[in-house]
Amino acid sequence: MNQDTALPHSAAAVADDPFTPPASSALWRSDFLLGAATASYQIEGAIHEDGRLPSIWDTFSATPGKVLAGDTGAVACDHYHRWEADLDLLESLNFEAYRFSIAWPRVMDEAGRPNAKGIAFYKRLLERLKQKGVRTFATLYHWDLPQHLEDRGGWLNRDTAYRFADYADLMSRELSGLVDAWMTLNEPWCSAYLGYGNGHHAPGLANGRYATQAMHHLLLGHGLATNVLRANDPASTKGIVANVGRGTADSSSPEDVRAARRFEVQHNAWILDPLLKGAYPEELFELWPGTEPLVLEGDMKTISAPLDFLGINYYFRTNVKSDGAHGFVEVPLKDVERTQMGWEVHPDGLRDLLIGFGRNYENLPPIYITENGMASDDRVSDGEVNDTQRISFLKRHLAAVDAAIKAGVDVRGYFVWSLLDNFEWAFGYERRFGVVHVDYDTQVRTPKRSAELIAHFIAQRRALDGA
């Protein structure tokens, strides 16, 4: 750890520990991974260095009015220059696995040729993680599409799926043997709906038909990439990451119950059905009539190629009622706990979704919770960050995971979002999700009390495993 990292106050952190799970929890199993997650555009910075090309998020965040306070990822956490210290920090907090993403614009030029300097960065990162005994989970696409591909239509252009497969081919050849688990896409729902359906995220387009066609090409790219990954790096496992949402009905009326079901069709089945059943849910196009994507022969077979694991990202639930037609409208609940994002804290939603997926999908693969966490307005006081709400949030959600495991769902690990405070997309730097505080002016890292308690729990588990 270097001078840019404030040392943990471990003794204070473990006093009256409010985090450690009960002895009966499955989380004490040594084969249950506990890790931390990040994403390239949110932490790396160095957007003009060593041959990196512009991404859609460079373009979007530089457009006035698109990101809160005009923030961009140009510097972010400066991880591109501080990666060694950040990995030392990861190790000091006892995390057993690290989920990160590769920046597509950093590793290839416009002609698809490898960028040696960009690839070398990820090789060094992975090699150091291996030296530290940390399991490596690499995401190929966490939203930073090269801008030159968006200029040719982005995910609305079927060719982007084939270019994604080329990218997967290059990375899996270059990094073979260094990655324990590959994830093709992070949250295709966000890429398709927020990027092409309502314009909240890059590239900022807003058309329902765009969203469903972009989703189809994203999932096609996933299937094509999965086949390439299997060929090039057979010892690794392969999966995809889906963000899921729990929908609840505002009343017991049939209309509201159907509205809640359709919320979950739009948020969950839209992605999981093609992956695990080989077809889009018909109810999706009753909700969004006239938005059926162009699907060519063989596409669904490619998309539904078997997965070694499924990554699940969960943050909150949404209470809805019928809109009087085919859809739903949100009805915010009063007097419930919320995070800095305004999202309701509802751990039972994670438990219910996991158990429901187990019932609905006969071929449900093993699951990793690849993101779970919360934003709060954290401040450093006397060298410490006492993030009591986050500690409670994480403990309750881990208890929900434990309940799902005891109900028979094969959940193999949990990654807190995020290791570091970072660029939170359209919300810029205001919303802090990290278990490590980042001072964006000085780049000093300060582990929050949540990080220290997680480290203490993992140390306890290791001690028991070695006894």
The model's pTM is 0.96
Does residue 371 carry a catalytic annotation?
Answer: yes
Asked if the structure places residue 402 within a domain, the reply is yes
pLDDT digits (tens, 9 = 90+) for 242-275: 999 999 999 999 999 999 999 999 999 999 999 9
Asked if the structure places residue 105 within a domain, the reply is yes
465 band by pLDDT with thresholds 50, 70 and 90: confident
Task: Tell me the C-alpha distance between 80 and 102, whole Å.
Answer: 12
State the greatest distance between any 2 C-alpha atoms of the chain, in Å, as a whole number: 62
In this prediction, what percent of the chain has a pLDDT beyond 90?
A: 96
Q: Write down the residue that tokens 């990292």 correspond to.
A: 5
> The domain containing residue 44 runs over which residues?
10-466
Asked if the structure places residue 2 within a domain, the reply is no
Q: Which residues pair with 344 in a beta bridge?
A: 338
- Number of structural domains found in the chain: 1
Find the CATH number of the domain harbouring 415. Answer: 3.20.20.80
Asked if the structure places residue 5 within a domain, the reply is no
Asked if the structure places residue 122 within a domain, the reply is yes
Question: Looking at the predicted structure, is the pLDDT value of residue 459 above 70?
Answer: yes
Asked if the structure places residue 27 within a domain, the reply is yes
Instruction: Give me 429's structure tokens.
Output: 């730097």
pLDDT digits (tens, 9 = 90+) for 46-103: 999 999 999 999 999 999 999 999 999 999 999 999 999 999 999 999 999 999 999 9
* Catalytic, out of 150, 371, 424, 452: 371
Cβ atoms within 10 A of the Cβ of 216, count? 26
Nearest of 168, 170, 177 to residue 225 by alpha carbon: 168
14 band by pLDDT with thresholds 50, 70 and 90: low
Q: Regarding beta strands 367-371 and 328-330, do their DSSP bridges make them parallel or antiparallel, or are they unpaired?
A: unpaired
